[in-house]
C-alpha cells in the first residue's frame, strides 16, 4: 500500500472544488460542523462507486445523528461529479482531485494504474481537529465504508 496517513495522524488541510465548482477546504469548511468521512472512489458513475456513494446517501440520517458529513473524492472533473451527484441525489459534497494530489498525500493513490483506476477505494474518518480516527480500505465491499465509519463515530459518542 502507498504511504499515507494512519489512525492518529493529522490530515493536512487541502482545498479542492466540489461538484458545483466551489472551492472547499477541509479545515474551517468541511469540518466546520463536525467530523468528515472522506471517501475516495475510483470513478464517478461506475457501478461500484455508485453503490458505495448511494450507501452514504441512504445513511444520511445516521450520519447527521453523529454530526458527521460524508465527502466523496475522485479524479473526476467537476462536470462529471455534478452529473453523478444530480443523477443519484447524493446530497453531500463530491470533490474533484484531477491530479490525485490529495489522494496521494493520504495514501489513496496507486503507483500503477489498474485500468483507468488510479484511486484506491479508501475512507478516512476525520475528527474536527483533523485527526484520523479510522482508515477503511476495501475494494470489494461497497457498503463497508459507510457502515464502518458509522460504527467508529457512534463508538466515539458512547
Positions annotated as catalytic residues are: 49
Tell whether the torsion through CA atoms of 148, 60, 85 and 106 is positive or negative: negative
Adjacent-strand bridge partners of 122:
40, 137
Angstrom distance (rounded) from CA 38 to CA 95 = 10
CB 56 within 8 A of CB 63: yes
Which of 10, 46, 40 has its CA nearest to residue 145? 40
Cell numbers that stand for 146 in this block: 459507510
Phi/psi of residue 128, nearest 5 degrees: -60, -20
Which of 106, 91, 31 is closest to 56 using CA atoms?
91
Amino acid at each position: 500500500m502507498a504511504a499515507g496517513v494512519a489512525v492518529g495522524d493529522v490530515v493536512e488541510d487541502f482545498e479542492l472544488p466540489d461538484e458545483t465548482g466551489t472551492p472547499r477546504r477541509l479545515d474551517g469548511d468541511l469540518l466546520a460542523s463536525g467530523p468528515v468521512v472522506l471517501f475516495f472512489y475510483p470513478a464517478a458513475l461506475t457501478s461500484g462507486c455508485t453503490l458505495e456513494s448511494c450507501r452514504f446517501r441512504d445513511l444520511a440520517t445516521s450520519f447527521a445523528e453523529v454530526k458527521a458529513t460524508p465527502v466523496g473524492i475522485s479524479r473526476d472533473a467537476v462536470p462529471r461529479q455534478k452529473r453523478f451527484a444530480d443523477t443519484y441525489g447524493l446530497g453531500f459534497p463530491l470533490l474533484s482531485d484531477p491530479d490525485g494530489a490529495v489522494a496521494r498525500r493520504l495514501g489513496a493513490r496507486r503507483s500503477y494504474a489498474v485500468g483507468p483506476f488510479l484511486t484506491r477505494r479508501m475512507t478516512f474518518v476525520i475528527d474536527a481537529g483533523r485527526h484520523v480516527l479510522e482508515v477503511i480500505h476495501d475494494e470489494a465491499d461497497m457498503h463497508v465504508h459507510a457502515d464502518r465509519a458509522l460504527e467508529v463515530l457512534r463508538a466515539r459518542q458512547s
